[in-house]
């Protein structure tokens, strides 16, 4: 149970532990890694979106001066058509390998085909142009609804639709169908006074991390493979590389360097196995870096989707039924996040009658990867727009209708489970009382919109070791790569337990040989689960230190009590010693103290957010300006409020980009025409106001301090909130993302 | 006795029945009892001695590690749901 | 094999000599030849600002400068900003304001902010946003970065 | 990135000789913000890069209220807006130099390079056209001059012959009661390439009620930036009014031949030509009226 108490460290805002290295340019990211004798690798990518590989001739490249080795799919072990259960989920091994280096077919423009190691990156790049690949070009399928049609070109001849374990007879681009059902939707719609049904389309968008993927690999003479890289999870890199190369996990060490953003996009491996293959072939360490176009075209974006939402309500605003159809583009191989989309779409509401159908569909685009609350934003754009329309038609305040139907503890989610203690209502009430929401909003072409969002969060495995130092500090060893200040949020939880300042903890993120298994930094789990492991490790230290105090005082361990950083004796003896002083006496009381904590918690506790946005629409150009933005979110308990705010602000702004301008633009042949930061238009600081992040704290019963994951849910509401604000401004419902100026002009009938 | 909530796409095994109450102290026992009442259903959920990839178990609303050894209370509610793919969940350890 | 030229330049106040190919950018020279890896490659075509350095007093994208062009010039990088025992006020302000998450864009933002405050010690919020628009950050939503620069300006003028 | 040679030329004749000798394979490096990207991405096949930044003539920045502006081809954008007199005389040009790329780009990129890159969407070209700018070109046969509106011949192609280079731009001194304005439409507020750009210059009568003359130019709606001749002529002698401005905007729309690409659709661009022409003209007129 969450403790209801005053904290000394939790809730404060110390300087992050890795801060100085990061503001002085000393922190070493993956691409910064240097090593004597390093070769540079470069990947040749397919110019076609869909083609059969007839032949690959690498001889001219191999003969080019400076080239030390060339690899293709031939260099990978034969991939079995079997499912491997990896840290990032179940994956068909053949699909996984084919996405690293295509064997028989290329399935998207940018699909890796071969790779070169050379003495300089420029030579490697030049040599790639000397690899002769003969293709039989096939027609591509680039859109989810087209891919679902019976006569659509097939990406995989052996792929058949599965529905909860049952496979269909005929091959299809539809990899799977899922369904959730609650109550009797037909009856629910019959009870409604008003029913709104709309179609929504969202484009392919990228996580847009600023640091491209990178990997340096080296094989020692004894067969030990070491990979230095930027990743969200060193252990999942180890597992994926082991499966792809059919190499024992015990012979692979992954060293996580600092990581320049991930947002879900740095879980799947791309060039890490390639670097390893090149290292093996050349006998030298090989560094492979992607450029920005490689990142857009060769790594997983998040799916484009087609979403249909139907909701019914009585005239006093009670939602009686809801129906959703979600078709998500998986990209070249199955695995779109339609499951999470289906799980989250109606989660802010308590609705008795619900049916949700979800489809995972392959198309000739890069295999999609997670991106911040994967699947939920696509779904919420639809549902939160429809709720807004119902509120408007019934003349009910949009926050009021959400409060009226808001999900509470004990309500059943559409996918079945019952909500534990959640903060949905609290975020709505906070938003409603916020000065932003109560401020006047009347100017011409200005509009205000609101939307809510849900993300379930995950737990998974984490390990932490604590070594106690004689000066009263501790070294905290963890395996969660730090993307946004989690060294500190984890360290602070250990500090709280031990009654020491945050600054007395030295957190280190270490390699896979040096800490227990730790799952990815993803699913908003790090502060929750690795923080939980740190709490457990600190408890272990506390127990062991109590034993030392007992030894010192010659009393039973039961007679030692610990509070506010002081051990005291509760058995008559007037003994007292601070944590710090006791640290200096470990040698004489039995030697070093090492604490450890491992967890695999199930009670991650879902997070809710409600956003309020004001926009101005230029009616002549269709351009939308964000005037004011307020994001309210339940954090359970904010360990380091500054970095919680940062997550909320960053997620909201990624949502703003998704809402207004970000999308992969394809030509008919399946080439992305805007694969650069110039034309893939992420928000700059000039496009934004300050983002008011408001933290609500409804403690999560599944964490000792009440923590809920905070990273993902803030990207869920923005698209619908902005669409609703645009409607408020100009009276037009936008149902396609992004809501770019040309689409607004069209919707307004100006072009 | 624990209650198993049958997913909509599998209710043809149970004649449309959504909630099935069955004896069992572990996930394994519950599944075995489900199979003896509705033959064929286990094959849809399991592969050898583990859950099929793509399917997850929730006990009382919490995602479990998918282990058949997981204990269930007498009043537990068990859901079989599509595993959350896309890199965010589906544990393996 | 490409021929290399000998270049002499000043980096963070020190005279530095290096060999480079004509096609190597200043960014490549800094990172691969001089091991000054504080400037980062985010896009390699001038759209993200992660490689920002100051060349003869002027903010530039080091990916769009050739190494050979720096003969006789003066380059300031993030590595030269702090005193041995003291951070630059902008660095302090970034820490105090939690103005970084992953940190990959941070050196570029700090160099860009330094160039701004060198030329305009009291910028408005709009002027800060305008100046920094060439630096992309994907983590923070810019809120805390803009506040950090405002704080650093206040600190410097206090 | 392909390998190439690099020479820092010290005089115009040296640069011209190198260009003449190496033909198409030689390219001039000034700011490099387009050239380096083009070589890196394989869009230009270059064997020799001639850095002209050490040549005195291409670094001239000289404004005289009577004779006008001489702007060396390598002068960086930021230098143009550092001089108040230039900002006052040619506000339309400054509108452009302040929005090219970001701050770091403006530290390297210049008006001359923006012109020589000959992008249909170049921000500096419409203001140069409406300000009656002339190119000063040096070549193996000496110097020649060419109006800016004749300089670009196709996307990425210019009127420069083998061995020729742009040395500077000359802009006449502004007439009294005149001003200029440039704006572009982009989906973000910075760091984008124009979906459409529109520049206008106007000269009003002493009462600031009647248009004596006007020039309008457009970017990103044809293979080269366009001088909207008919639209410009339509305004001469007309009283400042919405009707006059609407007529000019329609005439500008009539010459636009936009394409659809990842930056915008043809319909959107044609529509925006009308919107931006109106805004550019109104902006320029407002500046005349705001001036003391």
Q: Which pLDDT score, from 0 to 100, does residue D116 have? A: 98
A524 min Cα distance to partner chain C (Å): 14
Q: Confidence class of residue A85 from pLDDT cuts 50, 70 and 90?
A: low
Q: Which pLDDT score, from 0 to 100, does residue A577 have? A: 96
Q: Which pLDDT score, from 0 to 100, does residue A93 have? A: 87
Instruction: Name the nearest CA neighbour of A600 among D238, D123, B62.
Output: B62
By the CB < 8 Å criterion, does A688 face chain D?
no
Q: What is the per-residue burial (b if ≥16 Cβ within 10 Å, else e) of A109-128?
A: bbbbbbbbbbbbbbbbbbbb
Chains that touch B (3 or more CB pairs under 8 A): A
**3-class state of residue C145 by DSSP:** helix
Q: Which of C103, C110, C151 to mutate to test the interface with A (most CBs of A within 10 A)?
A: C103
Range D81-97 average pLDDT: 98
Q: Which pLDDT score, from 0 to 100, does residue B45 have? A: 87
Spatial strand order in the sheet of A691-696: A446-455, A607-618, A623-634, A691-696
Confidence check: pLDDT of A74 > 90: yes
Cis bond upstream, residue A738 (ω within 30): yes
Of A66, A209, A685, the CB nearest to C133: A685
Instruction: Name the nearest CA neighbour of B43 among B15, B20, B71, B10.
Output: B10
Of D6, D8, D102, the CB nearest to C134: D102
Touching chains D and C? (3+ Cβ pairs < 8 A): yes
**3-class state of residue A640 by DSSP:** coil
Angle at A613 between CA A607 and CA A616, to 5 degrees: 160
Q: Which pLDDT score, from 0 to 100, does residue B54 have? A: 76
Q: Which pLDDT score, from 0 to 100, does residue B48 have? A: 78
CATH class assigned to A19-27+459-599: alpha beta
Farthest CA pair distance, chain A: 87
**3-class state of residue A400 by DSSP:** helix
pTM, two decimal places: 0.97
Crossing angle, helix C143-157 and helix C89-96, to 10 degrees?
Answer: 140
Cα distances (angstroms) measured from residue D281 to each of A344, D178, D201, D242 = 51, 12, 7, 10
Three-state helix/strand/coil letters over A515-584: CCCCCCCCCCCHHHHHHHHHHHHHHHHHHHHHHHHHHHHCCCHHHEEEECCEEEECCCCCCEEEHHHHHC
Please tell me the distance from the alpha carbon of residue A39 to that of residue A32, in angstroms, as a whole number: 14
pLDDT digits (tens, 9 = 90+) for A212-228: 999 999 999 999 999 99
Q: Confidence class of residue A593 from pLDDT cuts 50, 70 and 90?
A: very high
Please tell me the distance from the alpha carbon of residue D12 to that of residue D57, in angstroms, as a whole number: 8
Q: Which pLDDT score, from 0 to 100, does residue B86 have? A: 40
Please tell me the distance from the alpha carbon of residue A8 to that of residue A585, in angstroms, as a whole number: 25
Ordered alpha helix ranges (H), chain D: 12-22, 35-40, 77-80, 84-89, 91-97, 103-106, 111-117, 125-130, 229-235, 242-255, 266-290
Chains that touch C (3 or more CB pairs under 8 A): A, D
Q: Which helix (H) or strand (E) holds D203?
A: strand D196-204
Q: If you measure CA to CA, which chain C residue comes closest to A712?
A: C139
Confidence check: pLDDT of A474 > 90: yes
Q: Enumerate domains of chain D plus CATH numbers.
A: 5-51 (3.30.43.10), 56-171 (3.30.465.10), 178-290 (3.30.390.50)
Q: If you measure CA to CA, which chain C residue comes closest to A675?
A: C43
The ipTM assigned to this model is 0.97
By the CB < 8 Å criterion, does C68 face chain D?
yes
Instruction: Name the nearest CA neighbour of A12 among A489, A532, A358, A437.
Output: A489
Range C123-142 average pLDDT: 98
Which CATH code for domain B15-82?
Answer: 3.10.20.30
Which CATH code for domain A33-138+211-260+266-293?
Answer: 3.90.1170.50
Q: If you measure CA to CA, which chain B residue comes closest to A90?
A: B53
Q: Tell me how many helices (H) and strands (E) chain B has.
A: 2, 7
Q: Which pLDDT score, from 0 to 100, does residue A602 have? A: 87
Those residues with Cβ within 8 angstroms of residue D215's Cβ, 6 or more apart along the chain or in another chain: D129, D130, D131, D132, D200, D201, D227, D232
Please state, as a whole number, how many other Cβ atoms lie within 10 Å of the Cβ of residue D20. 15
Of B62, B80, B89, the CB nearest to A523: B89
DSSP lists the bridge partners of residue A91 as A84
Please tell me the distance from the alpha carbon of residue A739 to that of residue A495, in angstroms, as a whole number: 46
Using an 8 Å CB-CB cutoff, list chain D residues near C25: 36
Q: Which pLDDT score, from 0 to 100, does residue A2 have? A: 45
The percent of residues in chain C predicted with pLDDT above 90, rounded, is 96
Chain centroid to CA A38: how far? 32
Q: Which pLDDT score, from 0 to 100, does residue A475 have? A: 98
Instruction: Name the nearest CA neighbour of A146 among A455, A436, A362.
Output: A362
Angle at D28 between CA D87 and CA D18, to 5 degrees: 135
Q: Which pLDDT score, from 0 to 100, does residue B51 have? A: 81
Please tell me the distance from the alpha carbon of residue A121 to that of residue A136, in angstroms, as a whole number: 30
Sorted by where each begins, the domain ranges of chain A are: 19-27+459-599, 33-138+211-260+266-293, 305-457+605-747
Mark yes or no for CB contact C130/D40 under 8 Å: no
Q: Enumerate domains of chain C plus CATH numbers.
A: 4-80 (3.10.20.30), 89-157 (1.10.150.120)
By the CB < 8 Å criterion, does D246 face chain A?
no
Quickly tell me which residue has 């001066």 as its tokens: A65
Q: Confidence class of residue A298 from pLDDT cuts 50, 70 and 90?
A: very high
Using an 8 Å CB-CB cutoff, list chain C residues near A678: 45, 47
Using an 8 Å CB-CB cutoff, list chain B residues near A414: none
Range A400-418 average pLDDT: 95
Q: If you measure CA to CA, which chain A residue comes closest to D271?
A: A751
Q: What is the overall mean pLDDT for chain A?
A: 96
DSSP lists the bridge partners of residue A493 as none
Q: Which of D3, D188, D273 to mutate to test the interface with A (most CBs of A within 10 A)?
A: D188
Please tell me the distance from the alpha carbon of residue D79 to that of residue A617, in angstroms, as a whole number: 35
Q: Which pLDDT score, from 0 to 100, does residue B53 have? A: 75
Q: Which of A264, A373, A417, A517 to mutate to test the interface with B (most CBs of B within 10 A)?
A: A417
Q: What is the per-residue burial (b if ≥16 Cβ within 10 Å, else e) of C28-44?
A: bbbbbbbebbbbbbbbb
Mark yes or no for CB contact A602/B64 under 8 Å: yes
Q: Which pLDDT score, from 0 to 100, does residue A539 have? A: 98
Q: Which pLDDT score, from 0 to 100, does residue B89 have? A: 38
Q: Which pLDDT score, from 0 to 100, does residue A84 have? A: 66
Chains that touch D (3 or more CB pairs under 8 A): A, C
Please tell me the distance from the alpha carbon of residue D197 to that of residue A428, in angstroms, as a whole number: 44
Tokens of C140: 């923070």
D162 min Cα distance to partner chain C (Å): 24
pLDDT digits (tens, 9 = 90+) for A161-170: 998 888 899 9
Q: Confidence class of residue B66 from pLDDT cuts 50, 70 and 90?
A: low
Q: Which pLDDT score, from 0 to 100, does residue A4 have? A: 54
**3-class state of residue D267 by DSSP:** helix
Confidence check: pLDDT of A88 > 90: no
Q: Which of D262, D263, D267, D275 to mutate to test the interface with A (most CBs of A within 10 A)?
A: D262
Q: Tell me how many helices (H) and strands (E) chain A has.
A: 21, 30
Q: Confidence class of residue A627 from pLDDT cuts 50, 70 and 90?
A: very high
Strands A607-618 and A286-289: unpaired
Mark yes or no for CB contact C133/D190 under 8 Å: yes
> What sign results for the dihedral spanned by CA atoms A278, A279, A284, A290?
positive
Q: If you measure CA to CA, which chain A residue comes closest to B86?
A: A337
B33 min Cα distance to partner chain A (Å): 19
pLDDT digits (tens, 9 = 90+) for A272-295: 999 999 999 999 999 999 999 999
Those residues with Cβ within 8 angstroms of residue A133's Cβ, 6 or more apart along the chain or in another chain: A44, A46, A53, A55, A56, A57, A113, A114
> Same topology for domains A19-27+459-599 and A33-138+211-260+266-293, yes or no?
no
Please tell me the distance from the alpha carbon of residue A696 to that of residue A685, in angstroms, as a whole number: 26
pLDDT digits (tens, 9 = 90+) for A36-62: 999 999 999 999 999 999 999 999 999
CATH class assigned to A305-457+605-747: alpha beta
A206 min Cα distance to partner chain B (Å): 14
Mark yes or no for CB contact A85/B63 under 8 Å: no
B51 vs A72, more confident: A72
pLDDT digits (tens, 9 = 90+) for C45-104: 999 999 999 999 999 999 999 999 999 999 999 999 999 999 999 999 999 999 999 999
By the CB < 8 Å criterion, does A265 face chain B?
no
Span of A387-401, A436-450, B78-92, C92-106 with lowest mean pLDDT: B78-92
**Cβ neighbourhood burial of B46 (10 Å; 0-12, 13-18, 19+):** middle
Mark yes or no for CB contact C133/D104 under 8 Å: no
Q: Which of C64, C65, C135 to mutate to test the interface with D (most CBs of D within 10 A)?
A: C64
Confidence check: pLDDT of B46 > 90: no
Please tell me the distance from the alpha carbon of residue B13 to that of residue B9, in angstroms, as a whole number: 9
A164 vs D261, more confident: D261
Please tell me the distance from the alpha carbon of residue A135 to that of residue D211, in angstroms, as a whole number: 62
């Amino acid at each position: 149970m969450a403790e209801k108490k005053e904290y000394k460290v939790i809730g404060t805002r110390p300087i992050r532990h890795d801060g100085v290295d990061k503001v002085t340019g000393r922190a070493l990211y993956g691409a910064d890694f240097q090593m004597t004798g390093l070769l540079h690798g470069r990947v040749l990518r397919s110019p076609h979106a869909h083609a059969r590989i007839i032949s690959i001739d690498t001889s001219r490249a191999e003969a080019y001066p400076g080239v030390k080795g060339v690899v293709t799919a031939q260099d990978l072990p034969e991939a079995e058509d079997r499912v491997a259960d990896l840290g990032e989920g179940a994956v068909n091994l053949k699909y996984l390998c084919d996405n690293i280096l295509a064997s028989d077919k290329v399935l998207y423009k940018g699909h890796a085909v071969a790779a070169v190691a050379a003495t300089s990156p420029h030579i490697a790049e030049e040599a790639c142009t000397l690899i002769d690949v003969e293709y039989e070009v096939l027609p591509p399928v680039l859109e989810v609804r087209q891919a679902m049609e019976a006569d659509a070109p097939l990406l995989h001849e052996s792929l058949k639709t599965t529905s909860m374990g049952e496979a269909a007879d005929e091959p299809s681009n539809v990899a799977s169908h899922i369904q959730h059902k609650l109550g009797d939707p037909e009856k629910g719609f019959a009870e409604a006074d008003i029913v709104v049904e709309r179609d929504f389309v969202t484009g392919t968008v990228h996580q847009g991390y600023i640091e491209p993927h990178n990997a340096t690999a080296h094989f020692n003479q004894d067969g030990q493979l070491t990979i230095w890289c930027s990743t969200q999870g060193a252990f999942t890199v180890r597992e994926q590389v082991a499966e792809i190369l059919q190499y024992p996990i015990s012979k692979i060490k992954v060293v996580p360097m600092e990581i320049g953003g991930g947002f879900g996009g740095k879980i799947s491996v791309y060039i890490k196995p390639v670097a390893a293959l090149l290292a093996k072939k050349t006998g030298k360490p090989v560094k492979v870096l992607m450029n920005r176009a490689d990142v857009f075209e060769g790594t997983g974006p998040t799916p484009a989707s087609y979403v249909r939402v139907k909701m019914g309500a009585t005239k006093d605003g009670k939602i009686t039924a809801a129906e959703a159809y979600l078709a998500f583009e998986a990209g070249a191989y199955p695995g779109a996040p339609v499951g999470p989309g289906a799980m989250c779409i109606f989660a802010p509401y308590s609705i008795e009658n619900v049916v949700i159908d979800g489809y995972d569909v392959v198309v000739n685009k890069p295999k999609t990867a997670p991106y911040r609350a994967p699947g939920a934003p696509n779904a919420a754009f639809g549902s939160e727009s429809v709720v807004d329309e119902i509120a408007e038609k019934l003349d009910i305040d949009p926050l009021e209708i959400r409060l009226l139907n808001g999900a509470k503890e004990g309500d059943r989610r559409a996918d079945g489970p019952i909500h534990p203690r959640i903060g949905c209502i609290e975020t709505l009430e906070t938003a409603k009382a916020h000065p932003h929401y109560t401020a006047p909003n009347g100017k011409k072409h200005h509009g205000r919109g609101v939307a809510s969002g849900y993300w379930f969060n995950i737990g998974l495995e984490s390990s932490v070791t604590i070594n106690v130092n004689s000066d009263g500090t501790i070294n905290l060893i963890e395996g969660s790569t730090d993307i946004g200040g989690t060294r500190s949020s984890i360290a602070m939880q250990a500090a709280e337990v031990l009654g020491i300042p945050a600054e007395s903890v030295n957190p280190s993120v270490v390699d896979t040989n040096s800490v227990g298994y730790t799952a990815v930094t993803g699913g908003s789990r790090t502060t929750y689960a690795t923080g939980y492991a740190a709490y457990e490790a600190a408890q272990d230290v506390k127990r062991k230190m109590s034993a030392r105090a007992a030894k010192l005082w010659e009393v039973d361990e039961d007679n030692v009590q610990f509070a506010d950083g002081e051990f005291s004796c509760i058995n008559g003896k007037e003994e007292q010693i601070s944590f710090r002083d006791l640290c200096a006496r470990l040698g004489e009381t039995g030697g070093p103290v090492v604490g450890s904590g491992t967890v695999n918690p199930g009670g991650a506790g879902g997070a809710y957010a409600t956003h309020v946005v004001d926009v101005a629409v230029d009616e002549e150009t269709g351009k939308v300006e964000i005037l004011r933005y307020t994001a309210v979110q339940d954090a359970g308990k904010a360990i380091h409020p500054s970095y919680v705010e940062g997550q909320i602000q960053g997620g909201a702004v990624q949502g703003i980009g998704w809402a207004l301008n970000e999308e992969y633009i394809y030509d008919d042949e399946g080439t992305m025409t805007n694969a650069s930061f110039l034309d893939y238009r992420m928000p700059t600081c000039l496009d934004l106001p300050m983002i008011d992040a408001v933290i609500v704290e409804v403690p999560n019963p599944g964490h000792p301090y009440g923590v809920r994951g905070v990273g993902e849910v803030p990207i869920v509401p923005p698209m619908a909130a902005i669409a609703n604000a645009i409607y408020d401004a100009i009276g037009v419902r936008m149902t396609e993302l992004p809501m770019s100026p040309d689409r607004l002009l069209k919707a307004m009938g100006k072009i | 006795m624990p209650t198993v909530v049958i997913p909509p796409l599998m209710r043809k095994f149970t004649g449309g029945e959504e909630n099935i109450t069955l004896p069992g102290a572990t996930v394994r026992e519950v599944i075995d009892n489900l199979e003896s009442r509705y033959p064929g259903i286990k094959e849809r959920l399991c592969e050898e001695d583990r859950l099929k990839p793509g399917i997850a178990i929730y006990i009382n609303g919490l995602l479990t590690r998918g282990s058949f050894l997981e204990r269930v209370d007498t009043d537990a509610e068990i859901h079989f749901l599509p595993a959350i793919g896309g890199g965010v969940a589906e544990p393996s350890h | 094999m490409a021929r290399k030229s000998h270049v002499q330049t000043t980096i963070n106040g020190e005279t530095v000599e290096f060999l480079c190919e004509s096609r190597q950018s200043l960014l490549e020279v800094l990172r691969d030849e001089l091991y000054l890896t504080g400037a980062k490659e985010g896009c390699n075509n001038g759209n993200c600002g992660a490689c920002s350095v100051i060349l003869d007093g002027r903010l530039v994208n080091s990916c769009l400068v050739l190494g050979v062009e720096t003969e006789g010039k003066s380059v300031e990088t993030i590595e030269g900003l702090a005193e041995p025992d003291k951070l630059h006020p902008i660095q302090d302000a970034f820490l105090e304001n939690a103005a970084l998450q992953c940190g990959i864009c941070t050196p570029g933002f700090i160099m860009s902010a330094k160039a701004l405050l060198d030329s305009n010690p009291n910028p408005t919020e709009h002027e800060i946003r305008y100046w920094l628009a060439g630096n992309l950050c994907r983590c923070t939503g810019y809120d805390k970065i803009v506040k950090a620069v405002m704080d650093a300006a206040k600190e410097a003028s206090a | 990135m392909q390998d190439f040679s690099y020479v820092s030329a010290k005089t115009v004749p040296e640069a011209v000789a190198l260009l003449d000798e190496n033909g198409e394979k030689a390219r001039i490096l000034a700011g490099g913000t387009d050239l380096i990207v083009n070589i890196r991405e394989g869009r230009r096949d270059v064997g020799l890069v001639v850095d002209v930044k050490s040549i005195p003539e291409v670094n001239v920045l000289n404004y005289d209220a009577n004779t006008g502006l001489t702007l060396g081809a390598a002068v960086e954008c930021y230098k143009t807006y550092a001089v108040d007199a230039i900002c006052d005389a040619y506000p339309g040009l400054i509108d452009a130099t302040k929005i090219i790329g970001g701050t770091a780009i403006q530290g390297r990129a210049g008006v001359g390079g923006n012109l020589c890159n000959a992008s249909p969407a170049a921000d500096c070209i419409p203001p140069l056209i409406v300000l009656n700018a002339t190119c000063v070109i040096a070549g193996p046969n000496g110097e020649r001059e060419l109006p800016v509106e004749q300089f670009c011949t196709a996307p990425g192609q210019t009127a420069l012959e083998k061995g020729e280079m742009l040395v500077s731009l000359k802009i006449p001194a502004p007439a009294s009661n005149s001003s200029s304005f440039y704006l572009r439409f982009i989906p973000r507020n910075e760091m984008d390439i124009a979906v459409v750009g529109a520049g206008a210059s106007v000269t009003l009568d002493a009462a600031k009620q009647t248009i004596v003359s006007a020039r309008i130019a457009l970017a990103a709606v044809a293979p080269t930036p366009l001088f909207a001749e008919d639209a410009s002529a339509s305004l001469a002698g007309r009283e400042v009014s919405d009707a006059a401005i609407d007529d000019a905007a329609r005439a500008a729309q009539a010459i636009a031949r936009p394409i659809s690409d990842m930056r915008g659709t043809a319909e959107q661009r044609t529509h925006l030509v009308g919107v931006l022409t109106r805004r550019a003209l109104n902006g320029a007129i407002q500046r005349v009226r705001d001036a003391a």
